[in-house]
Amino acid sequence: MNFMPKLAAIAGVFLISLGSAQAQNRELVVGSSATYRPFAYESPTKEIVGYDVDIIQAVAQKAGLKIKIVNTPWTGIFASLNNGDVDLVISGVTINDKRKQSYDFTAPYFEARQLIAVPKDSTVKGLKDLAGKKIGVVNGSTGDDIASREFGKTSPDIRRFESTPVVISELANNGLDAAIGDNGVIAFRAQEHKQLKTVNDASFPKEYFGIVVKQGNKDLLAKLNKGLAAVKADGSYARIYKKWFQADAPVLPAQ
């Protein structure tokens, strides 16, 4: 009896199984643009840190995934996902219908909206109270759009800057009466200046950030969603949110 064909078949099955196991255990590359404090930025020792970093590390641990976070410029981050340089992206990416046509998103891990920063003694309660006041925004941002729609694009009261840190610095030095910007960045920057506070206008629409994978990568998506659900359930998400934003975490939708 010739055992060679059977041995060859058994060896083939073993190699396929081994290859599958190695594929499952391989280190996944996470793309994140480390220029968006406090979500992801480089520490003085060049380590990538931030809210997004803490979230993906917690999710990966719960999901049993090995990951390596790579600083990936925002301008090329989706191309890196498309060509396989990275396996997933976490970089403050807003979930919207246009992006969902090309990529798959996990359940939300962050509730994004616009936020107003003002001096602590300000009586401002919302956007309409900013009429006639000097408002700082980042040029071309959502905050710029909101202020322009409410007060007119050419309003002399709207002061445009190149970055949120500059806007907040101007506000802290009494050069502005208010600032409008992304809630995560505004809240983080405002807490660095004890003379400032933040004001939420309920009319500002909510948006959500999600972790991004290639469209059709259902296996990885399911693992990430399972890990994310576990992080939300055991209190890790709330602790990470509190660490970076000094506030209680909002309740996020399941999907």
Per residue, the 3-state secondary structure of 195-227, as one string, reads CEEEECCCCCCCEEECCEEECCCHHHHHHHHHH
Q: What is the pLDDT of residue 2?
A: 55
| Calpha distance 59→14 (Å, rounded) | 31
Whether the CB-CB separation of 34 and 42 falls below 8 Å is answered with: yes
pLDDT at residue number 19: 46
List the alpha helices (DSSP H) in the chain.
4-25, 51-63, 77-82, 97-100, 142-151, 164-172, 183-190, 218-233, 236-245
103 in helix, strand or coil? strand
pLDDT per 10-residue tile (average), the chain, 255 residues: 52 48 73 90 94 98 97 92 97 89 97 95 97 94 91 97 90 98 89 94 92 97 98 97 91 86
Alpha-carbon span 184 to 28, nearest angstrom: 27
How far apart, in whole angstroms, are the C-alpha atoms of residue 169 and residue 175?
A: 9
Q: What would the DSSP string read from start to end of 173-186?
A: TTS-SEEEEEHHHH
- In the chain, what are the domain boundaries? 24-111+207-245, 114-199
The rounded distance, in Å, linking the Cα atoms of 201 and 148 is: 16
Q: What is the pTM of this model?
A: 0.73
What integer pLDDT is reported at residue 128 of this predicted model?
Answer: 97
The domain covering 24-111+207-245 belongs, at the CATH homologous superfamily level, to Periplasmic binding protein-like II (3.40.190.10)
Block residue for tokens 């003379």: 195
The domain made up of 114-199 has a fold known as: D-Maltodextrin-Binding Protein; domain 2 (3.40.190)
The Cα 237–Cα 51 span in angstroms is 10
pLDDT tens by residue, 165-220: 899 999 999 999 999 998 988 988 888 999 999 999 999 988 899 999 999 999 99
Q: What is the spatial distance between Cα 172 and Cα 167, in angstroms, rounded to a whole number?
A: 9
* CATH fold match for the domains 24-111+207-245 and 114-199: yes
pLDDT value at residue 12: 54
| CA 61/CA 77 separation, integer angstroms | 23
